[in-house]
């Protein structure tokens, strides 16, 4: 499912124009991105949490040059689904 599919589905179910739904979805995503870049986690009860994870410094290898490189510590965005969300997907998803 793409963002356009989500916009279409919300528009059909709510009767709100696609342009308004598109603006709302874009505003939501921008808000989540802004919060995460500022180091704030976003919690959506019953859905999940958008969190910032810290990756520790580690040693890596550049295979083409056969050299060792240091990868500095950094932060990455992550999503942690809520327990009810995980349970619903486990119980209602069929193998295709």
Q: Summarize pLDDT for 18-40 with one digit per residue, the tens.
A: 999 999 999 999 999 999 999 99
Instruction: List CB contacts of 9: < 8 A, sequence separation 6 or more.
Output: none
**pLDDT at residue 1, as a whole number:** 93
How many structural domains is the chain composed of? 2
What predicted TM-score, i.e. pTM, was given to this entire model? 0.77
Is the Cβ–Cβ distance between 36 and 77 less than 8 Å? yes
3 state SS of 55: strand
Is the same domain home to 72 and 82? yes
Is the same domain home to 47 and 36? no
**pLDDT at residue 92, as a whole number:** 82
**pLDDT at residue 14, as a whole number:** 95
Is the same domain home to 34 and 67? no
* Residue 43 structure tokens: 């919690």
Is the same domain home to 50 and 92? yes
Q: Summarize pLDDT for 31-81 with one digit per residue, the tens.
A: 999 999 999 999 999 999 999 999 999 999 988 998 999 999 999 999 999
pLDDT at 89 exceeding the cut of 60: yes
Domain range enclosing 94: 41-96
Q: Print burial letters for 28-54: b (CB count within 10 Å at least 16), e (below 16).
A: eeeebeeebeeeeebeeeeebebebee
Is the same domain home to 63 and 29? no
Instruction: List CB contacts of 70: < 8 A, sequence separation 6 or more.
Output: 57, 58, 59, 60
């Amino acid at each position: 499912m793409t963002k356009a599919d989500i916009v279409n589905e919300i528009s059909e179910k709510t009767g709100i124009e696609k342009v308004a739904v598109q603006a709302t979805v874009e505003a939501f995503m921008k808000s989540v991105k802004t919060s995460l870049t500022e180091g704030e986690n976003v919690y959506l009860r019953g859905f999940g949490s958008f969190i910032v994870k810290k990756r520790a410094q580690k040693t890596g290898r550049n295979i083409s040059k056969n050299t060792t490189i240091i990868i500095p510590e950094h932060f990455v965005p992550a999503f942690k689904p809520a327990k009810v969300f995980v349970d619903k997907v486990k119980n209602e998803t069929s193998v295709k």
